[in-house]
Amino acid sequence: MSIEILYEDNHLIAVNKKAGDLVQGDKTEDEPLVDLVKAYIKKKIQQTRRC
């Protein structure tokens, strides 16, 4: 699953939550939106530090 970033700055990130996307984890163990956003931020920080 991919995420659509609507707005991003140093203090705020806004994503488009599609119908059916989980916001928090549940018993299905599907990846929730919050984990996708965390992974996106982590990847972006790692790319910034390499430069």
| pLDDT tens-digit series, residues 4-50 | 999 999 899 999 999 988 888 888 888 899 999 999 999 998 888 87
| Cα distance between residue 28 and residue 41, in whole Å | 24
What is the total count of domains within the chain? 1
The parent domain of residue 31 ranges over 4-50
Residue (of 13, 37, 11, 4) closest to 23 by Cα position: 37
The pTM is what? 0.78
